[in-house]
Amino acid sequence: KIQPEEKNIKLELLQVVCGKSTIPMATVSIRTNGEILSATASGNGPIDASFSAVKQLIKRKVRLEEFLIQAITQGSDDIGKVHVQIENRGKLYYGFSANTDIVTAAVEAFLDAVSKIK
């Protein structure tokens, strides 16, 4: 489990299974302080499953307050930028990321916000 004082959190692996008539599942591996931690979770979609897996790895109670995805230009091969806002102990923390894979961008943004919690 991640200790509250740890800030360097890097996404190492993200594997998602989702689709029609399938329970969305995500396996997430993160690197923190030279250690790789992994968790698998289900959810109501690929992003929810991914966030649930991350929450298993952290020793912080966080609540997602805001989640925004925006295309940077146009087209299905575009980069999506993600902004998340999470709440922990009454304080808000923001995370950002951009990637051609919006699920990866979402998890990276979530980890960015988590890493800012003091």
Residue-wise pLDDT for 30-85, tens only, equals 999 889 999 999 999 999 999 999 999 997 899 999 999 998 877 777 899 999 99
Q: What pLDDT is attached to residue 33?
A: 84
Extract the tokens encoding 21.
């008539």
H helices of the chain, in order, are 46-57, 102-114
Domain boundaries, the chain: 9-114
pLDDT tens sequence across 84-102? 999 999 999 999 999 999 9
Q: What pLDDT is attached to residue 7?
A: 54
* Residues 6+ positions from 20 with CB-CB distance below 8 Å: none
Q: Return the bridge partners of 13, or none.
A: 29
Please answer whether residues 42 and 55 qualify as being in contact, where contact means their C-beta atoms are separated by less than 8 angstroms: no
CATH code for residues 9-114: 3.30.160.270
- pLDDT surpassing 90 at residue 107: yes
Instruction: Please tell me the pTM assigned to this model.
Output: 0.90
